[in-house]
Amino acid sequence: MARRFRGESEQTVDSKGRVSVPALFRRVVEACDPEWKEGMRPELVIVYGTEKQQFLECYTIEAIEEIDRRIDRMKKGSIERRMMERIYHGHSMPAQIVEDGRIVLPQKLRKKLDLEDKAFFIASGDHFQIWKPSTYEEVELAKVDEWLSQQDEDFDPSSLLPDLPET
């Protein structure tokens, strides 16, 4: 993976479901779309997942192709493979970032998240997520607060990172 997403942003959603993708996110989508050239619309894949998933996952072309390769390595016919295919192939849709930096979220996806006039974008390494802002605060921030409350007062999150192999 050449690039990683970083940051978070709240964006306005218009009545047609158009929402601006944060500029830093657009640069990553462009860099990770092997077909993209200046003047073209960079492509990504939106995974809306199962009914329980309360957010959208937006993958670059390179990132979704890596997932596809990993699914291809799973045992054909296994329930695990079928579920991964259903989530990442069946419960997803291609999208493009248009000239003005926006994507269109179809009504089906807006309804799934109960999105109205705002969308919350947050980086997640090789992809970014789109949430209804209040759901993100209620669900995800509560998980972070709970987890942090279980840590020592002088806890350093970087202590969880494994060492890299020596080169």
CA dist 12 and 20 (Å) reads 7
DSSP 35-85: T--TTSPPEEEEE--STT--SEEEEEHHHHHHHHHHHHTSPTT-HHHHHHH
| pLDDT, average across residues 144-160 | 89
Number of Cβ within a 10 Å radius of residue 110? 18
Domains of the chain: 8-155 (3.40.1550.20)
Asked if pLDDT for residue 1 goes beyond 70, the answer is no
Number of Cβ within a 10 Å radius of residue 20? 19
Q: Within a 13 Å sphere around the CA of 153, how many CA atoms are in the beta-carbon half?
A: 0
What pTM, to 2 d.p., does this model score? Answer: 0.90
| pLDDT, average across residues 6-23 | 96
**pLDDT band at residue 44 under the 50/70/90 scheme:** very high
Asked if pLDDT for residue 145 goes beyond 90, the answer is no
Q: In 3D, which of 22, 23, 44, 24 has the Cα closest to residue 33?
A: 44
Q: Tokens 């940051």 — which residue?
A: 7
Asked if pLDDT for residue 104 goes beyond 90, the answer is yes
As beta bridge partners, residue 99 has: none
**pLDDT band at residue 2 under the 50/70/90 scheme:** low
Q: In 3D, which of 63, 7, 11 has the Cα closest to residue 34?
A: 63
> One-letter amino acid identity for 11?
Q
Q: Tell how strand 18-20 and strand 127-131 pair up.
A: unpaired
